[in-house]
């Protein structure tokens, strides 16, 4: 049996007729940039996330960058970031001219450890960027309390967590503002790049809207130095269709995750930990194993694709080689041990059972070898 890591074709086949109707509607309208489909999607996604405002932008990195710019964060400022995250989190800070200040994750959830944040705050700290990694929110209450104590902005990187909940509230509504990504592989993915900013702050929304459109609110009048970062009409229309399926797709991911958690607990690996307050959407199902290379090779040999999120932490990337980051052992350990198993809405029960069977076979082989 062949089990891909992600099957976007199957999800799109399920919605092909609706996606075609949405595309034809935009095509016939002749409106392709900042038109009614974008307005409608922004309203619908804001409502879904439980916030007042959504601003569609070019991609997830630009969403985070524009939020930071809107808050006036720049050279001389510091932003607290997790050590264990996709590099876009750090890049958004660097692109503003600010300095990322890394804080280690909890080993059990892989998300930033609130207990370590206060020690990283200095007189130059302006914001905390909390990443909801793998589809599970960071522990936001203590993060918000620390931020309030020091007068800091809390920005969510919600790129992997569309629909996830923290104590009943959706990701994207848990801080002062959030950036998310609609990269095709996300739970809510476009058919190309896309992103959005979410917030309840009208002043920040107005600034982001200007920044995404060349610094302009009125055509040919440019009040600030801006960017060209706009979610186009085609992607907005397609995302409106897919938004209607997001909860169902997330429920299916959760079903698969529950099966994995129930069946793989005795296979010699660390399974994802879900705190009582979390309701994850399982963008990724990430296990940890000291025998990762052997396990990944075994799965590949048996037709099962897997991925590593992420093999090189940001502080070890070449673009950050000049930074003095100190020892960050938890992120480095995670980079050596994590392995993401296939999980996607159209993954059928036979495929799920086959992945479980092969992992159990690997565990049994390892036990026999040690004996």
The continuous run of DSSP H or E covering 181 comes out as strand 177-181
Could you tell me the pLDDT band of residue 326, with boundaries at 50, 70 and 90? confident
CB of 75 within 8 A of CB of 45?
Answer: no
**Per-residue pLDDT, 230:** 98
What pLDDT, in 10s, does the model give residues 17-33?
Answer: 999 999 999 999 999 99
Instruction: Return the percentage of the chain with pLDDT > 90, whole number.
Output: 97
Could you tell me the pLDDT band of residue 327, with boundaries at 50, 70 and 90? confident
What pLDDT, in 10s, does the model give residues 195-219?
Answer: 999 999 999 999 999 999 999 999 9
Instruction: Determine the average pLDDT of the residues in 40-58.
Output: 98
User: In angstroms, rounded to a whole number, what is the distance separating the alpha carbons of residues 42 and 55?
Assistant: 6
Q: Name the burial class of residue 343, with classes exposed (0-12), middle (13-18) and buried (19+) by CB atoms within 10 angstroms of its CB.
A: buried
Q: Name the burial class of residue 223, with classes exposed (0-12), middle (13-18) and buried (19+) by CB atoms within 10 angstroms of its CB.
A: exposed
CB of 138 within 8 A of CB of 115?
Answer: no
User: In angstroms, rounded to a whole number, what is the distance separating the alpha carbons of residues 151 and 125?
Assistant: 9
What pLDDT, in 10s, does the model give residues 356-368?
Answer: 999 999 999 875 4
Whether pLDDT at 184 is above 60: yes
- State residue 292 phi and psi, 5-degree precision: -55, -50
């Amino acid at each position: 049996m062949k089990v891909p890591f992600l099957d976007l074709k199957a999800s799109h086949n399920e919605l092909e007729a609706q996606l075609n109707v949405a595309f034809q509607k935009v095509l016939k309208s002749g409106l392709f940039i900042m038109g009614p489909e974008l307005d409608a999607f922004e309203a619908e996604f804001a409502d879904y996330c439980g916030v007042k405002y959504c601003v569609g932008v070019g991609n997830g990195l630009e969403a985070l960058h524009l939020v930071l710019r809107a808050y006036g964060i720049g050279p001389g400022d510091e932003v607290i970031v997790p050590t264990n995250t996709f590099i876009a989190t750090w890049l958004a800070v660097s692109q503003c001219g600010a300095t990322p200040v890394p804080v280690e994750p909890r080993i059990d959830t892989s998300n930033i450890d609130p207990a370590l944040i206060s020690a990283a705050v200095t007189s130059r700290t302006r914001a905390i960027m909390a990443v909801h990694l793998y589809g599970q929110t960071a522990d936001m209450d203590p993060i918000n309390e620390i931020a309030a104590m020091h007068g800091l902005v809390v920005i969510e990187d919600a790129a992997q967590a569309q629909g996830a909940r923290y104590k009943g509230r959706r990701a994207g509504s848990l801080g002062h503002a959030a950036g998310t990504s609609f990269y095709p592989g996300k739970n809510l993915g476009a058919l190309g790049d896309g992103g959005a900013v979410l917030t309840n702050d009208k002043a920040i929304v107005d600034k982001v809207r200007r920044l995404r459109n060349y610094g302009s609110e009125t055509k040919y009048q440019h009040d600030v130095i801006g960017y060209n970062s706009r979610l186009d009409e085609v992607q907005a229309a397609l995302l409106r269709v897919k938004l209607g399926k997001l909860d169902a797709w997330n429920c299916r991911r959760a079903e698969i995750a529950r099966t994995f958690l129930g069946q793989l607990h005795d296979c010699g690996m660390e399974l994802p930990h879900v705190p009582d307050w979390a309701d994850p959407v399982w963008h990724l199902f990430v296990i940890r194993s000291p025998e990762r290379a052997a396990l990944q090779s075994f799965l590949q040999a048996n037709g099962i694709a897997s991925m590593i999120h992420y093999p090189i932490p940001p502080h070890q990337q070449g673009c950050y080689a000049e930074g003095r980051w100190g020892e960050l052992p938890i992120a480095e350990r995670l980079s050596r041990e994590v392995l993401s198993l296939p999980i996607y809405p159209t993954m059928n029960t036979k495929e799920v059972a086959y992945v479980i069977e092969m992992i159990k076979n690997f565990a049994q082989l390892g036990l026999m070898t040690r004996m």
